[in-house]
Amino acid sequence: MHTYDTVSAATSGLKKRGFDLDFNLEENCLICHGNKFDVNDFEIIEVHRFEGDSDPSDEAIVYAIESKNGMKGVLVNGYGISADTMDAEMAKKLKMHKQ
């Protein structure tokens, strides 16, 4: 497993390893290049969690995502106070991989 010191290092490192697309989180799906992926349409390959030393808004999680149709990219999401809203099923899938 690779380790990174910052969110930007994680996203850069993952892109170099083929996770070169950007996934975005909507309430009940991920979006990438106009494609929508529900919780059964993708797998989380890696998770990298970052905690801000003094600012809770610096807390973020970087997910390496691979869709069932072979699209590979990253999802950056806040957690705690800065977390995006999502439905329960999506929250459960993403939470399973935080450890």
Print burial letters for 69-78: b (CB count within 10 Å at least 16), e (below 16). Answer: eebbbbbbbe
> What beta strand segments (E) does the chain contain?
21-22, 24-25, 30-32, 35-37, 42-50, 60-67, 72-78
Q: State yes or no: pLDDT of 82 exceeds 50.
A: no
Whole-structure pTM value: 0.82
Segment among 12-16, 46-50, 53-57 with least mean pLDDT: 53-57
So what's the pLDDT on residue 97? 59
Specify whether the backbone of 97 is left (phi greater than 0), alpha (psi in -120 to 50) or beta.
alpha
CB 79 within 8 A of CB 60: yes
